[in-house]
Structure 1
Amino acid sequence: MAIFARLADLLKANINDLIDRAEDPEKMVKQIIIDMEEQLRNAVQGLGSVMASERQMLKQLEEAKTQSKMWEDRAKTALKDSNDDLARQAVDSKLKSDANIKQYENMHAEISSQLATLREQVEVLKTKLAEARTRQSLLIARDKVAGARQEVSKAVGDLDSSGAFAKMDKMEKKIAEKEAQADAAFEISGIDAKQKDPFIEMEKKKAADDEIARLKEELLKE
């Protein structure tokens, strides 16, 4: 059917447009689903129209059968009354009704065949739409994962390109130099502290002499 060919063209055009523009994939996929839903609604409406035509054809067929039966009964009545001319007129009308019956039956058979095909195609379209909705969810999820991976890759790339680790290595080297300088200064201070101060030594000697004198004085008292 033409409607399904148009649907295929629409889907192909939308997908190609999605690839070419490379814009928001989630928005694009949703639009494709919306277009498919619209095509399904159109297909269902077309199916409903054919079903209405089938019902109308059945109604006309039944009316033609009723007319044929009526003219047949009238022809029999005329024959019973020995009125061949009137019977012939009734038969002519009956034959016209019979011709209509044959035409309506042929048309109904054709419509019924088309209706069965349409029903099958609508069911196929419903299945395809359900499949597309499932793929929609998967594609959106994949797009989000891909986007997240791109962000992470970009962050890692920016980190590498900015030389963050090189800067940290340089900073660590400077800190190590400061630590070495501090250690050296501490060692120098220790050496200076160990050197003898003459005033300190004099004070120590005086304190020792005073203590010895005190002890000697105590011994003399004993």
Structure 2
Amino acid sequence: MPNLEVLEAQVPVRTPRLAEVERVSPAERTSPVASWLSGPVFSRARDIFAANMTELLDRAEDPARMIRMIILEMEETLVDVRATAARSIADIKELRRACTRLEEIQADWTAKAELALSKDREDLAKAALTERQKAADMAAGLTSELDQLQQVLRGYEADIAKLQTKLREARARQNAIAARIESAVTRAKAREMMHGGRTAEAFAKFELLERRADFAEGRADALGIGSLEDEIHELQAAEAVDRELEAMKAALKARAN
């Protein structure tokens, strides 16, 4: 229990947070829930949740570019929401420390009031109880603010989960769109090869080569036919010579007889 000698000179201990709260009246203090609901982070998150991704992609001239922009916006919003949630967690911890400190202050002023009454100093006891009431009022205000911040934090956690779900959906859509684009490009190249000028030129070259091959084969066949006829003609000529030779032999033999 504190000494009576220092009771009159003692003033309540204020943390920086408590001093700031005490300077601002309850009417001027902005509710954290109201601040968040009207803030840009909530507005961006709300727009993302309300957006119909399929409709956006159907209306887009360049779906691949649109999905990249959507994913970028979601990633930036997710970073902002997480940062704001981290600040809310820090504020909640500070408020809890302040509430604990206010409980200690109330207990301290209760002890001081009891000391003053034990020494028949009712004036000091009243002053101590007045200070204790101030601390109690501040604690009630901070407790209300703490409840609001915890509600806001739960909202952040829910929004983070929703954003992550939307982001996974968008990335899946992006992969599907990329696959469709790649397939379309491949089909277009195949059609261009089948119906394009380069393909026609290639087929023309093939036809020219085929004609050259046919000509070479025909020439070879023609050369083969000429050689065969020459050989047959030579055989026929040799056969005629042989017949004439035999006839001459027979004539000479007849003369000799």
TM-score, normalised via structure 1 length: 0.69
Is residue 101 of structure 1 aligned with residue 139 of structure 2? yes
Give unpaired runs (5+ residues) of structure 1. none
Amino acid paired to 1:206: E
Shift of 1:200: 6.8
Residues 60 and 66, structure 2, Cα contact 8 Å, conserved in 1: no
Residues 7 and 39, structure 1, Cα contact 8 Å, conserved in 2: no
Equivalent-residue separation in structure 2 for 1:193 and 1:66 (angstroms): 133
Of residues 47, 57, 60 in structure 1, which corresponds to 2:95? 57
Residues 50 and 115, structure 1, Cα contact 8 Å, conserved in 2: yes
5 Å-filtered alignment, 1:35-184, equals 35-158=73-196, 162=200
Residues 78 and 86, structure 1, Cα contact 8 Å, conserved in 2: yes
Amino acid paired to 1:2: S
Equivalent-residue separation in structure 1 for 2:230 and 2:136 (angstroms): 136
Give unpaired runs (5+ residues) of structure 2. 1-41
Q: Which has the higher helix share?
A: 1
Higher relative contact order (CA 8 A, sep 6+): 2
Is residue 5 of structure 1 aligned with residue 43 of structure 2? no
Of residues 179-188 and 103-112 in structure 1, the stretch that sits farther from structure 2 once superposed is 179-188
Give percent identity, aligned residues only. 22
Residues 75 and 91, structure 1, Cα contact 8 Å, conserved in 2: yes
* Cα distance change of structure 1 residues 35 and 2 upon mapping to structure 2, 3 Å threshold: closer
How many residues matched? 211
Equivalent-residue separation in structure 1 for 2:96 and 2:70 (angstroms): 39
